[in-house]
Chain A
Amino acid sequence: MMHARRIPLWPFIVATPLVLATCVLFGPAGLILPDGGTELGRSILILRLQRVAAGFVVGAGLACAGTVLQAILRNPLAEPYVLGISGGAGLGAAGAILTGLAAWNVFMVPLSAFVASALALFAVYLLAAWGGRISVYGLILSGVIVSSVASSLLMFMVTVTPARGLHSVLWWMLGNLQVSDPALLEACALAIFPASGILWLMSRELNAMTLGHEAAHHLGVRCAVVVPLGLGLATLITGAAVGLSGMIGFVGLVVPHVTRTLTGPDHRRLIPASMLAGGVFLALSDAVARTVLAPRELPVGVITSLIGGPFFLALLQNRRRRGWVD
């Protein structure tokens, strides 16, 4: 792999607060900061700050999980949802919404999404470990299987239940960063940032893993510990992110790739840089989602894919021109 120039970490650190502050200005009424002097203005400001914070936390978490999964699975298409986590979480959340558990307590949807995603990862791991050593291919294939089983179950639930809850399920699956309870945001941040910190401390091991598990083994990396720990932490992060905001696609796939071309593949720099980039990207996408057709609100997942898709294509094209072959 060839890199023209590598960007250090500091521009990311400088740009993040600036962009996030700009995002707070974006509202359905245009680029205006609400008046903090009135009660309503304060409410609006708090809601907006929570939303920007949720965008940053979720985006950073998904980008971190994506980076780590791409390293461990050695697959450019790996993303936070590849190991059946999304299917499991979707099933859990839809179950909570359609059975009426969601109406009981605001924590029920995130909690059941989280529990179901952990169960899905466990199932993927069991399937991959069936009859011998766990391989990367085994993990990815069983991830695909568990995802498709989960989505069939989800479709089944959606068809047999009355239409009233359906709308909520669909909207949830497209992602929504409006925080229903600030405590939920805190809980998710407390899961995502420490887990990301541990993954960052594993940077050297992850660097070795990108060479292949065998090579990593010969470099003294204990794969039997690093692989399950890395996958487990990435699931924890993804589960928390999905529980907070539903399924937001593209951030965990595109942001790590883009950041890697900018900062290089060293995880000591790549993990923090892609977390900052992911957080900023999602907060910005959400600002667009709530502004562009105001007062209509668009699902943020639509914006991330619309912006992310062409960006990713341009990047691939650029790389191909530079003779990138994997």
Chain B
Amino acid sequence: MKTLSAPYSRVIQAAAPAVAAVLFSCARQQEPGQAGSGPRVVSLAPNLTEIVCAVGAGDRLTGRSSACNYPPEIVGRVPVLADFGVPSIESLIAARPDVVLESDLQDKADARRLADAGIRIEHVECGRLDDIPAAVEKIGAIVGCSEQASVLASSLKAELERRRSVTPPPGPRVFVEIWDDPLTTAGKASFLSEAIRLAGGVNIGDESAAAYYQVSPEWVIMKNPEIILCFHSSGAAADSVRKRPGWRGVAAVKTRMVRDDLNPDVLLRPGPRIIEGLRLLDEVVSEARNR
């Protein structure tokens, strides 16, 4: 249906118009609410839920995590059977899914518990940008939408390739503020760091090989970032950064490049909307270049 494909229109525009036709036809075949021909799927992570819906298998979702909030018109009808990465084993057994998708279980032993209960559980790796097209293909194969999945995956791959082939001049220094107390940033192992690089920015957190870690304000001030991206307390973070002791001299604060309006669901989720996220980063980086 139209409602099914609409949320992905931006991704589709970004990728290739051809995807739209495929997605649209897939969506039309599977009227929401009707049982599809594929397996019953439970997703334990918001990015996996987005991928399941993007390959046109939204109607096969029989359960989701409490963190899955997109696309709203699909997840609204899907019962919550878990927290992010924390399945409720009993609810899962009662829901009789054919397959459970997870990317990051908090307790790795849950995978064995589910398997012991006779539930097929599939781990989908989503740590790096390149994992996203692979995840799309894998999920497409699992839910029986391989055709649409491979179109989406190759358009994602093409977009990543295109961005890698052009090397923009060394761009502005970016500080990613995942959380403010304690001050937590994204390091080299995070996919956000890759995304920033592809958008032409330099993530100052790349100094550590870790994915996410705590830093001191002193270090941030020393690095003097030209862009600060806050992914917490949206709307209020820019103001609070300005008021912190010692931060007034930081370039990003001076040029008002402290951004707290970027949607964390788009940028912190390794899913199909990352293309949209990369475009948001492009805009921020070019804005900083012009200041």
Contact = CB atoms under 8 A, between A and B. Distances in A.
Contacts of A321: none
A44 B210 contact: no
Given A39-B249, A40-B224, A181-B245, A47 B218 contact: yes
Contact of B214 (A27, A46, A296): A296
B246 A47 contact: yes
B225 to A, nearest CB: 11
Contacts of B205: 295
Give the one of A46, A48, A50, A295 with max B CB within 10 A: A295
Contacts of B217: 47, 178
28 contacts: A28-B219, A29-B219, A39-B249, A40-B221, A42-B249, A43-B221, A43-B246, A43-B249, A44-B246, A46-B245, A46-B246, A47-B246, A103-B233, A167-B184, A168-B179, A171-B214, A176-B182, A178-B216, A178-B217, A179-B245, A181-B245, A295-B208, A295-B213, A296-B213, A296-B215, A297-B182, A297-B213, A297-B214
Contacts of A43: 221, 245-249
Given A43-B221, A176-B182, A297-B183, 18 more contacts: A27-B218, A38-B249, A44-B218, A44-B221, A47-B217, A103-B236, A164-B232, A171-B181, A171-B182, A171-B214, A178-B216, A178-B217, A180-B245, A295-B213, A295-B215, A296-B214, A297-B213, A297-B219
B245 A28 contact: no
Interface string A45-61: 01110110000000000
A interface residue count range (under 10 / 10 to 19 / 20 to 34 / 35 or more)? 20 to 34
A47 B221 CA distance: 10
Interface of B: 179, 181-184, 205, 207-208, 210, 213-219, 221-222, 224, 232-233, 236, 245-250
Interface in A88-136: 102-103
A296 B245 contact: no
Contacts of B214: 171, 296-297
A178 B181 CA distance: 10
A171 B245 CA distance: 20
Contacts of A103: 233, 236
A302 B250 CA distance: 30
A257 interface: no
Contacts of A180: 245
Contact of B222 (A44, A179, A182): A44
B219 A40 contact: no
Contacts of A172: 181
Given A290-B216, A295-B219, A296-B208, A40 B250 contact: yes
B218 A168 contact: no
Closest 10 CB pairs of A and B: A43-B246, A39-B249, A28-B219, A171-B182, A295-B219, A297-B214, A168-B181, A297-B216, A296-B213, A47-B246
B179 to A, nearest CB: 6
Contacts of A178: 216-217
Contacts of A181: 245
B173 to A, nearest CB: 13
A296 B186 CA distance: 11
Give the one of A29, A42, A44, A176 with max B CB within 10 A: A44
A294 interface: yes
Contacts of A28: 215-216, 218-219, 222
